[in-house]
Structure formats: structure tokens, C-alpha cells
Amino acid sequence: MKMIIAIIGDHDNESVSQGLIQADFRVTRIASTGAFLRRGSSTLMIGVEDDKVDEAIQIIRERTTSTGEAGVKRATLFVLNIEHYSQI
């Protein structure tokens, strides 16, 4: 199992979250602030099976938009190995 941590702009949060949910991914959203200009960001935590990582990343890629500003990325993604997972 993997954990995708996706840091995206607030303006893309709804589109990305809905795309992931429609594809049967579970998404946890954390409001966050970052970068030099303190833009509003959303951090999405997505737990996925190993064979679904590329599908989730593709949805994020398709649903994020460019700000039009040079040097500003649409998203920052981290894909982490998960050793153990349980729900209580």
C-alpha cells in the first residue's frame, strides 16, 4: 500500500477531490498554507493500493490547473510506502 500526499492550490481542491472520489479513492483534506507568497493550499492524503498509484496521479494531473505564473507548480506529490494500515 502507498500513501500519496498531494499539495495543491485551494482553487483545485474541489475538482481534484471529486475526481478521486468518483474513481473510488478515499481522500482526507487538510487545509494548509505554504510557499513564498503564503498562498492557500490544500494537502490531500490518499491511501492507495500499489497498482492504483498511477491512476490516482493521473487524476490529480488532469484536474489541476496552471496559475499562469512562471515557476508556480500545479501540485507537489509525495508517494510513501505504508508498512501498516488499520482503521479503529
Predicted pLDDT at 77: 97
Q: Does residue 66 belong to any structural domain of this protein?
A: yes
Q: Tally the domains of the chain.
A: 1
Alpha-carbon gap, residue 50 to 64, rounded angstroms: 22
Measure the CA dihedral 41/42/45/50, to 10°: -70
Q: Does residue 39 belong to any structural domain of this protein?
A: yes
Alpha-carbon gap, residue 51 to 4, rounded angstroms: 13
Q: pLDDT (tens digit, 9 = 90+) per residue, 9-42? A: 888 999 999 999 999 999 999 987 765 556 678 9
Q: Does residue 87 belong to any structural domain of this protein?
A: no
Q: pLDDT (tens digit, 9 = 90+) per residue, 37-76? A: 566 789 999 999 999 999 999 999 999 988 777 777 889 9
Q: What is the CATH number of the domain that holds 8?
A: 3.30.70.120
Is residue 10 helix, strand or coil?
A: helix
Q: Does residue 86 belong to any structural domain of this protein?
A: no
Predicted pLDDT at 76: 92
